[in-house]
Amino acid sequence: MSLLSRPPAVLVLEDGRTFRGRAYGASGRTVGEAVFATGMTGYQETLTDPSYYGQIVVQTSPHIGNTGVNDEDDESNGYWVSGYVVREASRRVSNWRATESLEDRLRRRGIVGISGVDTRALTRHLRDRGAMRAGIFSGDELQLDAAAQLVAVRDTPPMAGSRLVDRVTTAQAYTVPAVGEKRLTVVAYDLGIKSATPELLAARGIEVRVVPASTPFEDVEAMDPDGVFFSNGPGDPAASDHEVDVIRQVLGAGIPFFGICFGNQLLGRALGFGTFKLAFGHRGANQPVLDVATGKVEITCQNHGFAVDAPIGDPVTAPQESFGRVQVSHIALNDRVVEGLQCLDIPAFSVQFHPESAAGPHDSQGLFDRFADMMTGRRTATRA
């Protein structure tokens, strides 16, 4: 379908700016927080990442959909974005693995989108003004007058203060068996977990017991795991007191802990640090991060709008003093945001980026080996 043959649509930002284009995917109305993602590939993984729940994703890459979608690369069972914004939607699918076009998938999944938008101008606006609430209107919803559309956008709850993990977590616990000989057992809290994460743990001989976000520590303790993992996920970490309390009990019990993305923010809170909302966040598969210990720069996959407020530099005593010393282990090179925490007196660490990186790059997958080594070391020391 050519761009001009598509029905009209409009994107409305909460500050009143509008971008007109053409309907893409499902038609209707959708609202959420407008954010931009800078990856040139991996749009299917983006759409199926639960961390994007409640967000309208703007793709900065100008041409989207050329490889279609398939039935193997989804990172979860759902398509979680609230809406989708592209500049030029591919009119042809060209990949041997594709099972349908991206637009057909969006339409079937009920994702309201807009194409033909000047995404460069939109991205610059969001960089200058910050991520903000937005709405996409097409079909019958396009008949609403501009004032009513703006009211609908401004009535949307802001991301700050929102607890969203309950919307994306698994309803029932399940187990991903170890590949080959079982070496270790990990309890993984699903705060919006991506399927590649337990698969990468399982590939290292780790049985992964994925549990809902509401799981109490007593249930974890009863499983006697070698380690506890907290996944990525959406929403404001300041609204997740239950999860913070669980982490503190895990740390207090001396159980090795590894967290990524949302899990990193929650470890920061558990250690006593604050968190804050970034102006426009980090989203995409091309985010440079410095590993403080090695001096190496890793290109990472990220999706977060909040960050930990911890001092960069020498180790400090955690505000929750019983957990000892902690050091910022990774730093974002674009804006010096905290990208990782390393506890020095207890077995715990976390990173803000996504080391599973299903769509690439794979610079940071060694962190799963580090977690396995930490658990093996604790088991050996316990048995000695």
Q: How many Cβ atoms are within 10 Å of 120's Cβ, its own excluded? A: 12
- Catalytic residue flag (residue 33): no
**Catalytic hit among 45, 75, 243, 356:** 356
Distance of CA 78 to the CA centre of its chain: 14
**Catalytic hit among 261, 298, 301, 343:** 261
- Catalytic residue flag (residue 261): yes
Contact 210, 168 (CB under 8 A): no
* Tokens standing for residue 211: 């549990």
* Tokens standing for residue 383: 């048995």
Residues β-bridged to residue 175? 209
Contact 102, 123 (CB under 8 A): no
- Catalytic residue flag (residue 103): no
**Catalytic hit among 125, 282, 330, 354:** 354
What DSSP line would sit under 124-188, residue for residue?
HHHHHH-SEEEEEEEGGGGGS-HHHHHHHHHTSPPSTT-B-HHHHS-SS-EEEPPSSS--EEEEE
Contact 133, 32 (CB under 8 A): yes
Which residues are the active-site residues?
Answer: 261, 354, 356
